[in-house]
Amino acid sequence: MSARYEDLKGLKNLGQKYAYTDREVMLYAYGIGLGADPMDENELAFVNEGTFTPRPLKVVPTFASVAAWGSGPGEMNLNRVMVVDGERDITFHQPLPVAANITADSSVLEVYDKGKDKGVVISHQTVLKNEKGEKLATLVASRFARGDGGFGGPNLIQPDPHKIPSRSPDKTIDIVTRPDQALVYRLCGDRNPLHSDPEFARKAGFPRPILHGMCTYGITCRGVLQTYADYDASAFRQHVARFSSPVYPGETVTMDLWKDGNVVSFEAKVKSRGVTVIKNGKTVLG
């Protein structure tokens, strides 16, 4: 087995300490577009705690993806310009509190070496725990390093993705993104200049900065939240999505949704460019 594979596979970082408040919770909700209509009471519950009639602030389930921003299994020494998100799979063990001190335990699950000039996919896990040591959420991420690979890793095949139903969608919704949305979302932690610096974006092969894949991921959570979950954040048990193409800030994301029992399947497109941006989406409600 190659030393490079063994180094990546062995990465682990336990007991990373983080804290967040309602400010970060509201910023994330606003960053994925909630609150665009300041009179929508359902959305205001995620971005405003109420004054004359107090109401508890709700936490978007996928806030888990930024609650411990910067946590990870360790330095992977990848070509940063060529790294993109491949997939996110979050399992929710209990509703996230509005404010908390948490720990994050991160480790690499597997390394899929696609060969020279084909890149490598690295799957890693982060488990978020509260101060009692109870699990809040388990995040599994895959990153596709287009500029790496071919170092002699084992010839492994990635698991098959969730299969979307063959029938017509049960629901279709449009979610509009703002031209400045990436500039807001980056304040949740991801300062990658690919999403804010036109020159950097061009060097990475894009005509202009793109929306964070994880912002699009949050938008798909929002889509399920406003349809089949009836704005009940505590109903989410799992949320999975594969990133297939970037969204540019200001575009409209069209979500197709299918419901089978407690499983909601979804895909997302940008019709104006004829591209699918999210594939093989799955939310488990309970």
Query: What amino acid positions are annotated as catalytic residues?
Result: 190, 195
Structure tokens at 31: 């960053």
> Cα Rg for the chain, rounded, in angstroms?
19
Q: Is the dihedral of CA 38, 40, 46, 50 positive or negative?
A: positive
Nearest-angstrom CA–CA distance, 107 and 50: 39
Structure tokens at 281: 């989406």
User: Residue 48's CB: how many other CB atoms inside 10 A?
Assistant: 16
Q: Which residues make Cβ contacts (< 8 Å) with residue 80, sequence separation at least 6?
A: none
Placement of tokens 């297939």 in the chain = 244
Among residues 174, 169, 161, which one has the least CA distance to residue 256? 169
Q: What are φ and ψ of residue 55, in 5° steps?
A: -145, 145
Look at strands 135-145 and 275-285 and give their pairing.
unpaired
Nearest-angstrom CA–CA distance, 60 and 42: 12
Among residues 66, 65, 59, 64, which one has the least CA distance to residue 34? 59
Structure tokens at 196: 């804010």
Nearest-angstrom CA–CA distance, 50 and 88: 32
Among residues 238, 228, 194, 226, which one has the least CA distance to residue 213? 194
